[in-house]
């Protein structure tokens, strides 16, 4: 199945000069969505993944069904101030300024085998911050998987040393 044909290109969003890769048409196609989840989960079947971590917000859409497919728990990584219990936090640099991500402190156990899932890999800043959250509580990142990778933005290079896959890659 050609997943790329189910990803819409939206020019000048969210600002002029940006070509946004919109996965909502893929989500609206039940067969393509099911196929995407199967492709994301398949390389990790039988590899002892104990938790899938989804990055807010579209990482939840893909991560939760991957966790289900793998028989794993699902863990939320959220923007600052959105989680109700005790959290761990990582700040990271954006193009203009900084941001922070949080995860519940008790979401993962030391040594737990984790797969990180998100819809898109661009510069890698959010994914790397998520790796730091996971490793900061002693869990072990077994891989990162994305629906879309914007290869020209260098995210893969920032995540060297971690198994990484993407279903659709744009230069």
Q: Where are the domains of the chain?
A: 49-170
Read off φ and ψ for residue 157, nearest 5 degrees. -65, -35
Neighbouring CB atoms inside 10 A of 159's CB total 18
How far is CA 71 from its chain centroid? 18
Q: Is 101 helix (H, G, I), strand (E, B) or coil?
A: strand
Q: Which class for 63: exposed (0-12), middle (13-18), buried (19 or more C-beta within 10 A)?
A: buried
Tokens of residue 47, six digits? 């590899």
| Active-site entry in 58, 78, 102, 156 | 58
Shortest CA distance to 112 belongs to which of 142, 147, 145?
142
Domain topology for 49-170: Rossmann fold (3.40.50)
Q: Catalytic residue at 149?
A: no
- pTM metric for this prediction: 0.97
Q: Catalytic residue at 78?
A: no
User: pLDDT tens digits for the chain (171 residues)?
Assistant: 999 999 999 999 999 999 999 999 999 999 999 999 999 999 999 999 999 999 999 999 999 999 999 999 999 999 999 999 999 999 998 877 899 999 999 999 999 999 999 999 999 999 999 999 999 999 999 999 999 999 999 999 999 999 999 999 999
């Amino acid at each position: 199945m050609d997943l790329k044909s189910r990803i819409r290109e939206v020019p000048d969003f969210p600002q002029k000069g940006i070509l946004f890769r919109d996965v909502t048409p893929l989500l609206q196609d039940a067969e393509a969505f099911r196929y995407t989840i199967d492709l994301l989960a398949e390389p990790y079947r039988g590899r002892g993944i104990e938790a899938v971590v989804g990055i807010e917000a579209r990482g939840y859409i893909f991560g939760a069904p991957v966790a289900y497919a793998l028989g794993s728990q699902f863990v939320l990584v959220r923007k600052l101030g959105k989680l109700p219990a005790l959290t761990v936090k990582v700040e990271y640099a954006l193009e203009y300024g900084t941001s922070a991500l949080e995860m519940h402190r008790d979401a993962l156990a030391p040594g737990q085998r984790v797969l990180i899932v998100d819809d898109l890999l661009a510069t890698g800043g959010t994914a790397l911050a998520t790796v730091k959250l996971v490793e900061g509580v002693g869990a072990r990142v077994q891989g990162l998987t994305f629906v879309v990778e914007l290869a020209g933005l260098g995210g893969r290079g920032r995540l060297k040393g971690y198994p990484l896959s993407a279903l659709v890659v744009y230069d």
